[in-house]
Amino acid sequence: MPTQNDEYARPARPPDTSSLAEVLAAARKCTACHLYKRATQTVFGEGPKNAPMMLVGEQPGDYEDVEGKPFVGPAGKIMDRALEEAGIDRIQVYVTNAVKHFKWEPRGKRRIHKKPNSREIAACRPWLEAELRLVKPKLMVCLGATAAQSIFGPSFRVTRERGKVLSSKLAPRVLATVHPSSLLRQPDEESRQREYKRFVSDLRAALKAAGEA
Ligand code: URA
């Protein structure tokens, strides 16, 4: 039975359907973990059902929570710029997150992002599985450790594996790279530019891999 316990989580149960709209409607009512209580809404993935590439982030942030769309805040803006530079049209890509509710804690008037834990990621995973089952992308791109670890397990290290085409049970071809928000946290302009270029180069590798599949 659901409790008020913050740790409470059980796997979500997406409907068995070929309609993304029906899965989205069910996800909007998800109470599989406690995160729905503080979030404004479920932020489900968006993009074409036949997208050749699926980008998976960690969880919606403050802006996404309010707008109800993934990657529309500062991290999304830098990601969009990098996608364009890599020759990838965001409109053609399916964009989603490993966790579909914004996890945050109050600090004064601000809502501070909190990293989802393994139980929350596991509770939300059936939604990601449903998106993968319906979209069947040629390539899944994990943006950052949370997305990559939700696919490959907690010992996966993005720093070791970034830019390589890997395989998993969930998606035959997966490429992991850094989360775009890590570019915003670089300590100086030089490292910001260097890391941005590496990110664009990983996205170019993703475009090539999606084309080859
Ligand atoms: N960070 C994410 O991982 N996903 C979003 O949608 C926005 C920021």
> Domains along the chain?
14-212 (3.40.470.10)
Residue 6: predicted pLDDT: 54
Between the CA of 60 and the centroid of ligand 1 the distance, in Å, is 4
The low-confidence residues of the chain, meaning pLDDT below 50, are 1-4
Does the CB atom of residue 95 touch ligand 1 within 6 A? no
- Which DSSP string do the residues of 30-57 spell out, in sequence order? --SBGGGGTSSS----BS-TT-SEEEEE
Q: Which of 63, 71, 90 to mutate to test the pocket of ligand 1 (most atoms within 8 A of CB)?
A: 71
Look at residues 130, 164, 144 and name the one whose alpha carbon lies nearest to residue 21: 130
- Angle separating helix axes 189-212 and 74-86, nearest 10 degrees: 60
- Which residues lie across from 111 on neighbouring strands? 106
Could you identify the atom of ligand 1 that is nearest to the CA of residue 71? 6
Tens of pLDDT, residue by residue over 134-153, are 999 999 999 999 999 999 99
Does the CB atom of residue 120 touch ligand 1 within 6 A? no
Residue 1: predicted pLDDT: 45
Residue 8: predicted pLDDT: 74
| Residue owning tokens 């998606």 | 171
Tens of pLDDT, residue by residue over 56-86, are 999 999 999 999 999 999 999 999 999 999 9
Decide if 207 contacts 87 (C-beta within 8 A).
yes
Residue 31: predicted pLDDT: 96
Sign of CA dihedral 179, 112, 78, 55: positive
CA 63/CA 142 separation, integer angstroms: 21
